[in-house]
Every structure is written in structure tokens, then in C-alpha cells.
Structure 1
Amino acid sequence: MSSNIKINRICEFCKNEFTARTTKTLYCSLKCSSRAYKARTRKSKIEESNRQTEIAKKPDLEIAKTKDFISIKQAGLLYGISRRTIYRIISRGELDIAKFGTRTVIRRSDMDGFFTIPLQESMLRPVQEFPGLEQCYTITQIQQKFSISPGALYMLIQRNGIVKYAVGKFNYVARSEKRYRYYI
């Protein structure tokens, strides 16, 4: 089926301008279409070969990803930590193990659970809106007003969960006289 429309396009393969007769045409000729197909096929074969090479380099890692129980060595490869570190975690009682003769195995789900970061209460709190510059102190103003060192101030801010606002190169804290007097 032919159409009477003529659209100026640029060939995806040779980058030359051509007149297309449909809106879906990508290549200027059958020759460019064939060459683009061959280039895509060649690229996918190279990527598959590279993937197979990576698997061949680290066969234990691919095996460990599919198993429910893994050895200490496989756990080290999978999580990027040393065997000694895993043994220290086990000796502290933070991971359960199973022994088969001299072989030690770990449940992969236990390792996943050990390395997940629990959500803290501070992460679950909604973000507070910036009250505006006139309603805030800079860190320097708080230090001067209450005669406190920068390290102690940052420690108090962090320990008590006081919200800091970064605007440009300055850090601001909302003004609340009673709140600071209580902490300092």
C-alpha cells in the first residue's frame, strides 16, 4: 500500500537525508536497513559473549545467586566482604549457620536480612517546610548567642533531631528560643 505523503527524514544508519513515504520508515534504503540489522546482531552477539566471559570468570558468584544455602567463600564473593569478616559476624551470633562436617553454610536470606538497613524513625518523619530566613538562625548565630562550639552544636542538633535547612552555602535552624535553651 502506498501513500501520497512525503516526509523528510534522516537515515538511522548512514545519517543521510531522504524522503520517506511512511511515518515509520527509519532507513533510506534496503542496503542501510540490512547493514543496521547486521550491526545490531553483531552487537548483541558481542554483549552475550562478554556476559558469558564474566560468568566464566566468576562461576561461584553466579551459582551463589541461585542457591538458598551458600558457603562462606560464596557469601564473601556475593557481598564483597572477606571470609574473616563473615566468621566474625558468625562468632558474634548475628548470623545462623549450619555445619556439614567441616563445611559451614549460611542461608542466603539470613545474609540478605543482615545487610538490609532498617528504617529509622527519623527517616519516616515527614519533611518539614522551610520557615523562611527571618524565622531561622544560622549556625554561626547560634554559636555566638549561646557560646557553644561548632562540634558541640552539631552533636546537639543531630542527637535531638533538630531539622537543619541548607540554603546556598549556609545551614539554617528554625528559631525556637525555648527549644535551644532546653538543649544547651
Structure 2
Amino acid sequence: MGSNIRISKICQFCNSEFTAKTIKTKFCSLTCGSKNYKKRSSEKKKEARRQEMKSMNDAGIEQLEKLEIFTIDEACLFMGVSRRTLYRVISRNEIAISKIGAKTIIRRSDIDSFFEWLYESRKNEETVQKFPGIEHCYTISEIQKTVNISPAALYGILLRARIEKYSVGRFVYVSKRDVDLLFNIQSHE
């Protein structure tokens, strides 16, 4: 025989009111119960991962300094980047990896050379030419009218040709010398 108990409760997952047939019922439906279980499982996995990373941090970067070969997690901790960022760097072939079975390893020398390359590229960016002055530049709209080209096409051409653009206020300027050379325009200077 079944119970005739009817209790008004609030679902612990979706917060909607429902009528429960037992005292122990927590969810309004099987769907809410399943979703809550999935959420709890996910949170447990995330917490386990956090604890693992915390224990790696507690082990200390000092110990990582002594290593010559890193796993992905150790390399992330050593470099101070997320797994996603490290995998992006690896996919662009900026850091070489090796596989031992299913395990991915990275040599310390590859990480060091990556940072040296980053430092050199930053140094090269700093040597980019300075703004030549408004009198020696065209605005984007002036170039569009002269060459009869759309803004998207112009930006694409400037990007491919690696021509520097300068933003001053609400205008974007490009060196007259660079544009004249690119589009074979006779200069009035």
C-alpha cells in the first residue's frame, strides 16, 4: 500500500515548488535529480583538480627549477600559464614536445629558448618606426578615395604588407612614403 502523504517542497535544483510523496524527496523530477548529480560530479572533479594543482604549487617552483624535463602540468606551473595557453603555443610549433606513450613531455631547453625568442620579438617590436607626423601621413579615407578600395580590402593589404598604422584621436594614419610605394602613387612632395 502506498502512502497518501503530500508535502509541498521546493526543488533543490530548479527552485520550483512541487508536491512530494515522501519526506526524503529533494527534486521535482528525475531530470532535476540527474542534472544535480552531474553538477555535483563536475564540482568534485574540479575540486580534485584544484587540490592537485595546489599540492603542485605547495611542492614549490624551487623543485621545478631543478627539472630538465616537464610534463604539461609542470610546464604550465613553471611558465605561469594555463594548459590552454600552453597547448596553443605547442600547436603553433613555438615549443617542441616529445611523446612517451600517451605522456607529453617538454624539455627545459625548449622552454628557455621560447622565452628568449619572446624577448627578442618584443625587442624587435620596440624598434618599429616612430610616428612621422600628420603632414607625412594619409588618413585611411584619403587612401580609399585615391585608390578606390573598400576599407576591409585596404586593411587586409596593409596587414599583408606589414605597414604600420598610427591612431591619433579618432583617425588612423599611414605613412605617405609606405602607401606611395605600395600603390605606386606619384608623390606631390
TM-score with structure 1 setting the length:
0.48
TM-score with structure 2 setting the length:
0.47
